[in-house]
Structure 1
Amino acid sequence: MKKFLVGVDGSDLSLRALRKAGEYAFGVKAQLVLAYALAPVSHLSEVYTGQLAELEASDRKNGEVILRDAARVARESGCEVSVVMLNGSPAVALAERAEHDKDIDLVVVGSRGLGAMASAILGSVTDKLVRDCKKPVLVVH
């Protein structure tokens, strides 16, 4: 069965990418695999070390909510849907998942997400993913 890996982060463009992926997936009878990446927080200074577990737990909970909501939207397309929580920077985590899951045929992401430079023409995560991913990447604007 064909699979489309869809990166979700809760942004409007990620939702738009999800809906577009659902349209395409329905047409070719592909499964949607929705992925949220838990970005590492270990780069923070030692002053914040005591709060790392709290930050990670908060990010995981946020990711679970985003995945749950995205799965609800994705099921409206009539496709089979699964969710996965990835660890690492989003671009690297998505590229690695796509490379290691031989059933992934396409990676779908929004052109930018919720990052600090969300107004950039092509977000840094999307730019890195397009350059590094060995599978085709569909960028939705």
Structure 2
Amino acid sequence: MKRILVPTDFSENAEHALKVAAQIARDTNGEIFLVHMLELPSQMADAVSGGAAVPEIMLFLNKAHEKLEEVLTRDYLEGIKVSEAVKLESAFEGIIKSSKKNNIDLVVMGSHGTSGFQELLIGSTTEKIVRSSEAPVLVIKHDTNNFKTDRFVFASDFSKEVKKPFEKIIAF
């Protein structure tokens, strides 16, 4: 687990996931790929509209980069190699693409989940990532002050039909 992808929306849950990823990276001498997906309304990214939204897009990009730079100053990241990126695409597609592109060994992501009607219609991004990711996904829902990486349960169907078997990791 040398290459760890941590998607962030700058929420408290994403911060919890980053702390866990930092602990895993520290224990395995790994590196973290911190990525923020900037989902813009389709009319803002529409080239047909004449580019009137370009200043707004640049504002959002600059703010996202500023927030990432702030996150990189966290004490718990000291001594860990962290690469960061902001992508202009949907969270689901961007996380899956980033995972493949960077040859990620583990995705660690926070989840606050969806509920009610929204979950029934579209499901949560985290749930979609767990179902679709070729890399194992560790979902963190709460702050875990003393996360231990000494025991993992690894579930796989070990099928030969797929390039990489469906995997889930449950931490103890």
TM-score under structure 2 normalisation?
Answer: 0.66
Following the alignment from structure 1 to structure 2, what is the Cα–Cα distance between the partners of residues 64 and 80?
17
- Please state whether the residue corresponding to 2:105 is helix, strand or coil: strand
Shift of 1:83: 0.8
Q: Secondary structure in 2 aligned to 1:68?
A: helix
User: What is the percentage of aligned positions where both structures have the same residue?
Assistant: 27
- Counterpart of 1:79 in structure 2 is 80
Moved more, 31-40 or 76-85: 76-85
**CA–CA separation in structure 2 for the residues paired with 1:54 and 1:108:** 33
1:1-141 equivalences in 2 (<5 Å)? 2-43=2-43, 49=49, 52-73=53-74, 76-102=77-103, 104-112=104-112, 120=115, 124-141=124-141
Determine helix, strand or coil for the equivalent of 1:135.
Answer: coil
Provide the rounded CA distance (Å) in 1 between the counterparts of 2:58 and 2:41.
11
Conservation of the 8 A alpha-carbon contact between 1:111 and 1:140: yes
Higher helix share: 1
CA drift of 1:95 comes to 0.7
Higher mean Cα deviation, 33-42 or 17-26? 33-42
Is this contact kept in 2: 1:35–1:86, CA < 8 A?
Answer: yes
Measure, in 2, the Cα distance between the counterparts of 1:77 and 1:129: 28
Provide closer, same or farther for how the CA distance between residues 74 and 111 of structure 1 changes in structure 2, counting only shifts above 3 A. farther
Runs (5+) with no aligned partner, structure 2: 142-172
After superposition, what is the alpha-carbon deviation per residue over 1:91-125, rounded to whole angstroms, capped at 9, x for unaligned? 110111111222x111111113xxxxx66498722
- How big is each residue's C-alpha offset from its partner over 1:57-77, in whole Å with a ceiling of 9 and x where there is no partner? 232122112211222227635
Greater C-alpha radius of gyration: 2
Gaps of 5+ in 1: 113-117
Q: Please state whether the residue corresponding to 1:54 is helix, strand or coil.
A: helix
SS in 2 for 1:72: coil
Tell me how many residue pairs correspond in the alignment: 133
CA RMSD of aligned residues (A): 2.7
